[in-house]
Amino acid sequence: MKTSHWMGMLFAGALIAVACGDDKTTDDDDDGTGGSTSTSSSSSGTSTSSSSSSGTTDCGGYQISDEPACQSCAETSCCSQLLACDIGSTCEQLITCIDGCGSDETCADTCMSTHGAGQPAAAALYNCLDTSCMEACAIAGICGSDLGYTSEAINECITDNCCASFDPCHADIDCNACLQDPDLSGCDVNALLTTYNTCKDANCPGDYCGSGIGLYSGGVDPVFECHVCINASTCCDEITTCVGDGETASIQMCIDCLNGDSACTDSTIQTAADAFQACKTAECNTECS
């Protein structure tokens, strides 16, 4: 998928051990179990793609990935989520609809309006893939390492801009552990991690102003130039108001209001969403178009 649309954060907040090299083998010194995810309303593993299969399993007939290892993991670990996105469901219709839009944003908006009821199920499926199938659905790591996020665009952006801060962190035992689990004790004061995060947030921000909401190409890869512009603009107050307490339900309500979905039932949030849209258009229209 290549369309951009308002969604919750779609990439892992922690790094994972990934397959590396053309043969997709993992680093022998890392079993790939050290990662964790930090997502809001929806998430996606970057090597997944949306297509339908004529075959059926106990998990339904929906094929979330053309890669056998990824599909097998999804069927083993995310069966109920796959079944909720079975062929003909609003979840499958939403993903398939957006997949067919190419770069047509109006088309993507129509998909959200028509099949928006499928977004929670799609979010649950991608969140499960991020949690349980990162290695099976993984991509090349950052700066040639054995670690990466589930968004290829983020890995590429960090590789292009932040290897000077990533490499020392990756080589340090404590900082490396924090990369894979930022909630570990001491990570909040780890100087190497702080330096890396500063570079990442400045060059490759995954959302608007830490809100958990952003603009994503294909529902997966952050549109960095838009996020950078918004984060440097005067629009942060509006998006912060829109997400309210930052809980999942509040973020989803903000997303619904931003997307013009009928599920937006809070007039205060709709006002904040409209204010943010106006601010975005006034200050970052080129970067976010």
Output the pLDDT for position 14.
54
Output the pLDDT for position 107.
75
Other C-beta atoms lying within 10 Å of the C-beta of residue 68: 9
Nearest to 46 by CA among 162, 148, 121: 148
Give the pair of three-digit tokens for residue 16: 């994972």
Q: What are phi and psi of 147, to 5 degrees?
A: -120, 150
In a 13 Å sphere around the CA of 62, the CA atoms on its Cβ side amount to 27
Output the pLDDT for position 171.
95
Where the chain has pLDDT below 50, the residues are 1-12, 18-56
Other C-beta atoms lying within 10 Å of the C-beta of residue 210: 15
Instruction: Note the pTM of the prediction, 2 decimals.
Output: 0.58
